[in-house]
Each structure stands twice: as structure tokens, then as C-alpha cells.
Structure 1
């Protein structure tokens, strides 16, 4: 994980408005959200796993599933998930568990982040700052 300083850190936004502005750029709400925190993830690449810019946020006052939820942005960071290779190699038609077991847990959820994408991550943070500030 590589933290990236940003002027966005500590800023408060309506979650709905933030989603409307970030989704067209390719950001998705990460699967690690809970009622009081979550993140917007941008997939930079899928080289031997996945490389992301993650923009974390915390609920301000109301839970994230509330209609008018607001969030405080945390410090963005780069992370890499390395997944097991070849888990679908032996999937057969009629294999009931294949529909459930097709995705694996990361072999290394905090894998080394490729140096060549660090500058890309910084540019993405700057783009977000220009959009949101």
C-alpha cells in the first residue's frame, strides 16, 4: 500500500453527489464498504492481480445506506491484490459449486505495487482534486 497525500483528505461530500461525479470516470464503490465506511476504487491495471487507486471515506452522522448520507474523505492510497492463477481450469458443465467458487481470495491482498503505476496514481489524485475542489 502506498499512501498519497491529497487536498481531498478531510473534505465532506454528499455520498450520492460524489457517486454521480466519480462513476463516469470509472470509479466504483469498493466491495469492502460497511455502514460507517467505504471507498471508491479505480482499477489502474490488472497486471498479475489488480492495481487500484482507493479513495476511502467515513460516514458523517448518518449511515451510508441513508438517503442523504454524507462522507468525509480519507487519505487516498494505491494497492495491489494478487490473485491465485488458474482456479477455473477444471470447471465442468453441471458443476454446481462452480457458480459459487469462481472467485478467489487474494493470495496477497497487499502485494507490492508496480513502480510504473505510482505516477499514474498521483495523476488520478490530481484529477480528483481538480474535479471536486
Structure 2
């Protein structure tokens, strides 16, 4: 994991409006959300596993499954997971399938982030800061 300091930390946003802004840019709400917190994920690459920028958020007012919920953005970070090659080849290969696939355990769930993705991740965060200027 590699954290990236950002001016978006602590910002409050309506989740629906935030989704409308971020989804066309390639972000999706990750599958490991709960009623009081979640993540926007941006898939960077799936070379030997997957690498993505994750933007955590927590609920300020409401619940994630309720209309009108307000969330607070937290510190973005890069995350890499490396998966075993050849294991569970029949398990499906959709976007983020490795992150949700119960049959394929990561070889390294907190793999080292390649340098090329650190620079790219910082650029993605700068883009987010511009989009979300208060």
C-alpha cells in the first residue's frame, strides 16, 4: 500500500453526485463497502494481479444504501495484489474478478507498488483534486 496525501481528504460530498462525477472517469465503488464506509476504485492495470488507486470514504450523514447520503473522503492510496498464475483459470476474468473471487487467494495481498504506478497514481489524485475543488 502506498498512501498519497491530498487536498480531497476531509471533503464532504453527496455520494450520488460524487458517483455521477467519478464513474465516467473510470471509478467504481469497490465491492467491500459497508453501511458506514466504502471505496472508489480506479483500476490502473491487471499485470500479474491488479493495481489500483483506492479512494476511501466514510458516511457523515445517512447510510450508503440510502438516498441522499453524505460521505467524507479520506486519504487515497495505491494497492497491488498479486495472484497465483494458473490457479482457478476457470473462475472468470471480468474486471476486478480477482478482488471478489473467493477461489483465488492472493500470493501477496499487499504487493510492492511498481514505481511507474506511483507516478500515475499521483497524477490521478491531482486530477481528482481539480474535479473536486470546493
Shorter chain as normaliser: what TM range? Answer: 0.7 to 0.9
Alignment partners' CA distance in 2, 1:55 and 1:90: 31
Structure 1 residue ranges, 4+ long, deviating more than 3 angstroms after superposition: 88-91
Partner SS state of residue 113, structure 2: coil
Give CA deviations for 1:45-95 in whole Å, capped at 9, x if unaligned.
11111110000000112111111111000000001011121123478xxxx
Q: Structure 2 CA distance, aligned partners of 1:86 and 1:102?
A: 15
Could you say which residue in structure 2 is the equivalent of 1:25?
A: 25
Larger radius of gyration: 1
**SS state of the match for residue 62, structure 2?**
coil
Residue 106 (structure 1) aligns with? 106
Two-structure CA RMSD over aligned residues (Å): 1.7
Q: Which blocks of at least 5 consecutive residues in structure 1 are unaligned?
A: 92-100
Structure 2 gap ranges (5+): 92-100
Aligned to 1:75: 75
The count of aligned residue pairs is: 124
Contact 2:52–2:79 (CA under 8 A) maintained in structure 1? yes
